Amino acid sequence: MLKVTARAHTNIALIKYWGKADQQLILPANSSVSLTLDRFYADTTVGFTDQPGPDRFVLDGRLQDAAATHRVHAFLDLVRQQAHIHGAARVSSTNHVPNAAGLASSSSAFAALALAASRAAGLSLDPTALSRLARRGSGSATRSIFGGTVIWHRGTDDASSFAEPVTTAPNLDLRMVAILIDAQQKDVSSRNGMARTVATSPYFPVFTATAERDSQAMVAALAAGDLEQIGELTERSALMMHGATLAAQPPFTYFAPATLAAWAVVRAVRAGGLPAYVTMDAGPNVKVLTDATHVDAVVAGLRAQLDNELVVCAPGPAARILTTTEE
Ligand code: PMV
């Protein structure tokens, strides 16, 4: 059995994807732009046996039950179809996150799975094809095939919806500080949260039209190295996404009280003259965008007012193969 281990890093969207145009193909309603992070990643090993049968999925050392394996199994079916193979898969995945506070992400998980499984199945996909495959596991995984700053073109069909790297100005060296906040409430999965937002939130059409335009504005701001513009677009996209969930029926939010407290501290740090901009995703953790020149001062400002664990991230690399072994 050919066993392939791949590593993919988590990405955080600066311009958010929050709603699908096609549920089955996972085509997003709008394009999105992200930053891949060095500190959070998944290592995933895949091998295919010669015989059909149930796939086996071990996550962080624990064998997963049929329900938990279902999404991985459906994804592996796509890989088997493309490779014309039928064997059951052996999958083992480890999340590398400094703390388990909701930072293990489906973006790194499905990007690592797409790379490891496609290679183990004998496919040699180029980055665009790999990005399209990863998309079928989880939308945000489309972007984690690439390092640094990345745009996911929404596209109109399977072939045209993929990600690619975005060129940034040479003087721009982004940093993202994760403020870890414990989730108190039960999460609404991103899949269910998006579906409810698309179906019921009157704010959704405004969110998605703005995100489409802001994706292009973000590409221009990254190329120009305009941190203020990058930060303002980032905050607006996050706030509009979370505004859209608040207007859904029934309404829901990923804000915890500590989220708002952290957000206020970031605003205070910015009012003190430092570039520091907030984003957040389908969980209460707050992430602060700044640059290498200012990150130490931003961290000092946050530490002065917050007890939370802080993780400073730099841009991370593209998904890659770590090992290939024949057993
Ligand atoms: O890829 P999913 O289904 O986990 O959705 C990701 C959604 C957000 O992280 C909230 C936004 C984004 O663009 O990554």
Q: Is 32 in the pocket of ligand 1 (CB under 6 A)?
A: yes
212 plus 82 within the same structural domain: no
Q: What is residue 183's predicted lDDT score, i.e. its pLDDT?
A: 67
- Tell me what the pLDDT averaged over the chain comes to: 96
16 plus 150 within the same structural domain: yes
C-alpha to C-alpha distance for 86 and 96, rounded to whole angstroms: 31
Which of 106, 134, 169 is a domain's end point? 169
Q: What is residue 105's predicted lDDT score, i.e. its pLDDT?
A: 85
Q: What is residue 185's predicted lDDT score, i.e. its pLDDT?
A: 63
> What is the whole-number distance in angstroms between the Cα of residue 82 and the centre of ligand 1?
25
Per-residue confidence band for 182, with pLDDT thresholds at 50, 70 and 90: confident
- Torsion of the alpha carbons at 199, 236, 226 and 152, rounded to the nearest 10: -10
Domain-embedded: residue 324: no
Q: What is residue 103's predicted lDDT score, i.e. its pLDDT?
A: 76
Mutate to test the pocket of ligand 1, among 9, 16, 196 (most ligand atoms within 8 A of CB): 16
* Owning domain of residue 129: 2-169
91 plus 203 within the same structural domain: no
52 plus 158 within the same structural domain: yes
Q: Is 191 in the pocket of ligand 1 (CB under 6 A)?
A: yes
58 plus 149 within the same structural domain: yes
Atom of ligand 1 at shortest distance to CA of 191?
A: 3
192 plus 84 within the same structural domain: no
- In the chain, how many domains are there? 2
Residue 80 sits in a domain of what CATH number? 3.30.230.10
Radius of gyration for the alpha carbons in the chain, expressed in angstroms and rounded:
19
157 plus 178 within the same structural domain: no
25 plus 135 within the same structural domain: yes
Tens-place pLDDT, residues 209-234: 999 999 999 999 999 999 999 999 99
Q: How many CA atoms lie within 13 A of 34 on its CB side?
A: 31
Domain-embedded: residue 326: no
Atom of ligand 1 at shortest distance to CA of 143?
A: 14
115 plus 26 within the same structural domain: yes
Tens-place pLDDT, residues 59-113: 999 999 998 899 999 999 999 999 999 999 999 999 998 755 567 789 999 999 9
Q: What is the arithmetic mean of pLDDT over 221-248?
A: 98
Domain-embedded: residue 325: no
Tens-place pLDDT, residues 80-91: 999 999 999 999
Q: Is 154 in the pocket of ligand 1 (CB under 6 A)?
A: no
Q: What is residue 297's predicted lDDT score, i.e. its pLDDT?
A: 98
Q: What is the arithmetic mean of pLDDT over 23-46?
A: 98
Residue nearest to atom 8 of ligand 1 (CA): 281
Q: Is 142 in the pocket of ligand 1 (CB under 6 A)?
A: no
141 plus 178 within the same structural domain: no
Domain-embedded: residue 322: no
Domain-embedded: residue 224: yes
Which of 146, 169, 192 is a domain's end point? 169
* Under 8 Å between Cβ of 223 and 44: no
Residue 305 sits in a domain of what CATH number? 3.30.70.890
- The ipTM (two decimal places) reads 0.99
Residue nearest to atom 9 of ligand 1 (CA): 281
104 plus 217 within the same structural domain: no
Which of 111, 140, 169 is a domain's end point? 169
Question: Whole-model pTM above 0.90?
Answer: yes
Q: What is residue 68's predicted lDDT score, i.e. its pLDDT?
A: 87
129 plus 6 within the same structural domain: yes
Residue nearest to atom 10 of ligand 1 (CA): 281
Q: Is 16 in the pocket of ligand 1 (CB under 6 A)?
A: yes
Domain-embedded: residue 158: yes
Q: What is residue 109's predicted lDDT score, i.e. its pLDDT?
A: 97
Q: Which of 116, 58, 55, 44 is nearest to 86 (CA)?
A: 55
Q: What is residue 101's predicted lDDT score, i.e. its pLDDT?
A: 59
> What is the whole-number distance in angstroms between the Cα of residue 85 and the centre of ligand 1?
30
Q: Please list, in sequence order, all residues whose beta carbon lies within 8 angstroms of the beta carbon of residue 121, skipping any fewer than 6 positions away.
A: 48, 79, 80, 82, 83, 85
Maximum mean pLDDT: which of 90-99, 181-190, 308-317: 308-317
Q: What is residue 203's predicted lDDT score, i.e. its pLDDT?
A: 98
Atom of ligand 1 at shortest distance to CA of 11?
A: 14
